[in-house]
Structure formats: C-alpha cells, structure tokens
Amino acid sequence: MMTIRPVGRMLPHPRLGVSDVDRIRALFERCSAFFTLVEGRPPGAAAPEDLLTDLPPDSSLSDKYVLGVMAGDRLVGVFDIQLGYPNADTAFIGLFVLDPAERNQGQGADAYGRVEAWLSKVGIGQIHLGVQMNNPDGRRFWERQGFTFLRDAPLTDADDPTPTVHVLGKTL
C-alpha cells in the first residue's frame, strides 16, 4: 500500500469525522432524491457512520478522506476519497454529493477542482470513480471535469437497483 505525504493543512476541504455525523445525516436527508435514484431508497439511519468507515478491498482508514464542502458553517457537500485505490498511483472518489440548493451554480466544479489540485500535490496520478448507469446528470458533471469512460463494472450490493456502474477516470 502506498504512503501519502503528510497533508495537514493542505486539505482542500475540512476532514469530517464522528463528531460530524449529525451534519452528514442532515445533508443526506436533503439529498435523499440522489440516494433514491442510485440506491433505490433514501439513505438509511446508519449511512453517515457507514460513509466514515466503509472501505474498498485491501484499503486502510488512514488513506480515507471524507471531506466536507462548507457554505459558512453549513455542510453543503461531501466527498468520500480513498487514496491508493485501486492502485498506489490512484485515488477513488466513492461519493460526491452536493446539497440540491447549491447545484448548478459552479460550486460542485469549484469544490472538485480544489480536491483535484490537492490530489495532484500529494502525488496521485489518476482519479477513478463510479457513476450509476441511471445517473446521466452525474456522468455529465464528471465528464465536464475531464473524466472519460474506462469500463463498466458490476456492483456487489445485491440491493442496488443498477447492477453495473460506469467507471470513469482522469489522469492528472
């Protein structure tokens, strides 16, 4: 597994933790239409805790960054980023969700741009992510950020309404 240089104050957004669970839950409730679209149901009660602890195979919590996008002191978005997955040179964005009231104003692109700059500074050469096949708006957003289609991949969650995701990637 790769070792990332210390990031400290270089983080583009505040790192979220257990003390932020209520704020994450409120954001997820405001974004329930997104979760219903991609998961077939609103976020469950454990979704904020799961966000903070779920990992891809052979990954470490020390390389997991759940970053909050803030408007003043209000949490309006969240990134779930795993460094060193699926390989040492790559970061995987497992989730980026933005409050519906904040969308279509350039804030998502700005927040992502700061994440991309940070990932480049810490030595990441590629970024991968998955977009559910029934989320064409999400795919268009990521393509506007310079991501391209890599492959389709099966999902392992038997409850997921879309059994396959589009894996997109970008070289930094």
What's the mean pLDDT in 48-71?
A: 94
10 Å Cβ neighbour count for 41? 11
Q: Looking at beta carbons, which pairs linking 17-21 to residues 24 or more positions away fall under 8 Å?
A: 17/52, 17/66, 18/49, 18/52, 20/48, 20/68, 20/75, 21/48, 21/49, 21/52
- 12-171: what fold? Aminopeptidase (3.40.630)
- Chain segment 79-117, per-residue pLDDT in tens: 999 999 999 999 999 999 999 999 989 999 999 999 999
- Chain segment 114-167, per-residue pLDDT in tens: 999 999 999 999 999 999 989 999 999 999 999 999 999 887 665 566 678 999
Phi and psi at residue 5, to the nearest 5°: -60, 150
Q: What is the pLDDT of residue 12?
A: 82
pTM for the whole thing? Answer: 0.91
Would you say residue 1 has pLDDT above 70?
no
Band (pLDDT 50/70/90 cuts) for residue 65 is very high
Q: What is the pLDDT of residue 158?
A: 52
> Encoding tokens for residue 98?
């933005």
